[in-house]
Amino acid sequence: MSESTASAASIARYRPETRLVHSGTLRSQFGETSEALFLTQGFVYDTAEQCEARFKGEDPGFLYSRFSNPNVSMFERRMIELEGAEAARATATGMAAVTTAVLAPLKAGDHVVAAKAMFGSCRYVVEDLLPRYGIQSTLVDGLDLEQWRKAMRPNTKTCFLESPTNPTLDVLDISAIAEIAHQGGARLIVDNVFATPIWQSPLTLGADVVVYSATKHIDGQGRCLGGIILSSEAFIAEHIHTFLRQTGPSMSPFNAWVLLKGLETLAIRVRAQTETAAAVADALAQHPKISRLIYPGRADHPQAALVKKQMRAGSTLVGFEVKGGKAAAFRCLNALKLARISNNLGDAKSLVTHPSTTTHQRLTPEARAELGISEGFIRFSAGLEHPDDLIEDLHEALAKA
Ligand SMILES: Cc1ncc(COP(=O)(O)O)c(C=O)c1O
């Protein structure tokens, strides 16, 4: 098996779209155009000596698919070269990536500071899981830099945030928070799912680690789960490599193959979905049945200046609050014909979510209110349908809300 010519070290001179198609390709002796699928748990060795050398790390081949696999390696390499990271490890799901990146480097007695506006399962990891193992956590209003500063303690090892946030699309100042973290001797981990690697590069903004749920835009066609952690060689070697190998939340070779093919179309999909989300946001902004609309690409977004500074474009998601609370939101969701009710996002099919009864139902009503997740709030994930069809669908559904 050989690395394709385009995936050699010189790849850095190519633009992201080109890297998404070529980076990391490993060709077998058959010279296939599309990456082959290596659906194998393990590998055989020519000799016992070679097997011994591989286990000792002296021979660079593959050992066992819990450790590494050609498809998983190709996916990791393509992501590394897109993100501008030194190293990466793929995981079975986005939550496996988040849990590993947050938990693996820590020990009892350490402290974590995180923004309270985040995906419900990520908040569970920080708020409920870590303290059970003696790792204290402080949740802050991620928009308030003073709160980040005040929350730092001598034993703070990790700061964690997502931006834009799920589901209210707040945009947090990654550079400023990275500076606060570094001044306190901590690392910053950024969940970049909502921004996508196309619109935001947290490592260049000062973050130390980036995590993705590849289940979202990277697959982008609703087929499989996956996750990835990207950072420096040193972070992966010291904290992630052995943890993943020994605890086993590995990405399946089949999923890696699907995600690798997903990456080839990521840029064009995200661009089209972002244009559609912007069109939907503009069409609904003044709707009489909507009390609040939030879209990071609009001039009326509360952090519009920061969006311009740290993102290359808005988002594929729009949030809006239907007047009349849960009953009105449910009438709207149930009346939609094209956009389907689902808790996923970033898919080719437009999807709508009611966060207060799904992704954030675990939080108390007070905690949801604090985050702006009202009973009437709907998260819209733009797909690849024609924007006018989606806008007509939303107008018809809102008429029934
Ligand atoms: C921001 C964010 N992070 C992490 C995850 C977890 O990803 P997965 O479902 O692939 O475990 C999700 C969605 O589920 C998410 O929206």
**C-beta separation of 62 from 277 below 8 A:** no
Residue 6 in this model has a pLDDT that exceeds 80: no
Q: Which residues line ligand 1 (CB under 6 A)?
A: 93-95, 98, 119, 121-122, 162, 166, 191, 193-194, 213, 215, 225, 227
Res. 10 pLDDT band, cuts 50 70 90: low
Closest to 85 measured CA to CA, from 2, 187, 207, 174: 207
Atom number, ligand 1, closest to the C-alpha of residue 194: 1
Residues of the chain with CATH 3.40.640.10: 2-264
Q: Give the torsion sign (CA, 227, 230, 233, 239).
A: negative
Residues of the chain with CATH 3.90.1150.10: 266-399
Nearest CA to ligand 1 atom 2: 119
**The architecture CATH gives domain 2-264:** 3-Layer(aba) Sandwich (3.40)
The stretch 129-133 carries a mean pLDDT of 98
Q: What is the pLDDT of residues 141-159, one digit of tens each?
A: 999 999 999 999 999 999 9
Atom number, ligand 1, closest to the C-alpha of residue 343: 14
The stretch 234-239 carries a mean pLDDT of 98
The stretch 235-249 carries a mean pLDDT of 97
**The architecture CATH gives domain 266-399:** Alpha-Beta Complex (3.90)
Write down the mean pLDDT value for the chain.
95
**C-beta separation of 165 from 355 below 8 A:** no
At residue 5, the pLDDT reads: 40
Helix locations, 23-93, DSSP H? 48-55, 70-83
At residue 80, the pLDDT reads: 97
The neighbouring-strand residues paired with 136 are 111
Residue 1 in this model has a pLDDT that exceeds 70: no
